[in-house]
Structure 1
Amino acid sequence: MSDVYDILEALRWHLDVGCDEAVADEPTDWTRLAARAAPARPPAAPGAAPARPARDAESRRPPGRSEAPNRPEVPEAGAPLGASEAGASARARARAAASLEELEAAVRAFDGCPLKATAMNTVFADGNPKARIMLVGEAPGEDEDRQGKPFVGASGRLLDRMLAGIGLDRSTVYITNILPWRPPGNRNPTAAEIAACLPFMERHVELVGPGIIVPLGGTSAKTLLNRTTGITRMRGQWFDYTPESGGRTVPVLPMLHPAYLLRNPAAKREAWRDLLVLRERLQTL
């Protein structure tokens, strides 16, 4: 693969499947390792029977049997928590947080979500925590993961322009995500990953106490409203969010995610209508 265009295509393929971070300080030349000669075996003793290949012994083993003794697996130290343990740990940490600062510290110390091990930064929030509007995205992207702030990439710049269209900016809104860590390759988060982080999100809403919640995209809308309806059917309509703790009910206006609008510019018309609905509701608060 000496042609430079073939090399570029290979790099693009790796980016598409999520391989966008180096895991070693120096690159490994696998071609040199593969070309190394196999170590020579010591000569057999005179009169000794020739050693049989390992596959002969393997072929004599009954199907389904293993040479290793049958014993239960023991989790290694530092192994990820199970789904139920992660949820219980998150709930306990979230309930103990009495302020946004304590909640952020609890999120950063939480090891119950495997996404933390692959992310560069914990992305907690941005904007004004005393704002009336709380915007909730899905999860950080590549730019957000690098900078440690939500909505700072191309979709973030579009979001800024959308807010400016109705007289808002980051000083008048509060922005966060359902997940504080980026899924590899920007894939959709799994149900287990969402469940592990949801207690922090619920406590986040309680501590901020917004007048309006705006989920951006299907994942955040479905998670907060506990619905399976698609975002194209929920957008532009008002719903109610009530935390499990039984606190104050907050009006919710789902909207299309800016990243979706970048891929589907024709949908910006619906997004503008939703922004007008939001501006009208703001005038009544």
Structure 2
Amino acid sequence: MKLSIHHTTRYLYARPVILQPHRLTLRPRSSHDMAVLASSIDCSPVAQMDWTQDVFGNLVATAAFTEATDQLVIASQLRVDQSAAAWPVFRTDSAVHSFPFTYSPDDAAALGALCIPDYPDPQGELENWARAFVRGEQTDTLSLLKGLNAGVLGAISYRVREEEGTQAPRETLALGSGSCRDIAALFIDAVRRLGFGARAVSGYLFDPQALAGDPGSTHAWAEIYLPGAGWIAFDPTHRRVGGDNLIPVAVARSNRQIMPVIGGYLGAPDDFSGMDVSVEILVEE
């Protein structure tokens, strides 16, 4: 399935400001189930782009600006061929069929901090919540993960949250609601407390059932590493497993490391007057 993705971010300022360098994580890499056919990023005012790869291998552009402006527009265009199976079969190594299991020394060393929770849990609330999904001393690993992935929405309601940043998992549990990035962060921290290697993913969600004119959306989800199957996508916001209809752009230990646009300006706090983001995802005939 070939998709065309148009993602535009616009910042408005009350008066011309000096833009500091902006970090743009908007260009994905090709993988076994997604080929990047074309990509471009355009900025207004025009920026000098320097490309690099971060510690996770994500493609990152640093945009440097030379002129003052009262408006910044960053427009990303992608064409991808997404071929992830709608009903995937995950062939994991026999050693990890049952939970609990232990990663091999090489895998454990490579996963490192991806197995370590990112948020404090002094009273053990989050760990107790996660372990409530474990049925017995030995349980099927994939069934456990699928149950937890589906069970998040039993405790949490999805809501659009415009504020920047990610809620701490304990806060999400206490509030009983959160955005997709909050729900993903809760899921990631929960599975890490069970010993799994997990990472955050940012990208786009394509909904083929959406009404005509639905623009599409940015999205956040998780991936868990299981030897034999590799990195498996878990989307607790939609109770889905596998990469079908997901377009990953970047992966990292936490959401804050893969925000699509990070940058600032030199000026007074009230110089900033607003921003808007639009995403359009179209199926190519």
Length-normalised TM-score, structure 1: 0.23
Which one has a bigger Cα radius of gyration?
A: 1
Please state which structure has a larger fraction of its residues in helix. 1
Greater relative contact order (Cα 8 A, min sep 6): structure 1 or 2? 2
Length-normalised TM-score, structure 2: 0.23
Please state which structure has a larger fraction of its residues in strand. 2
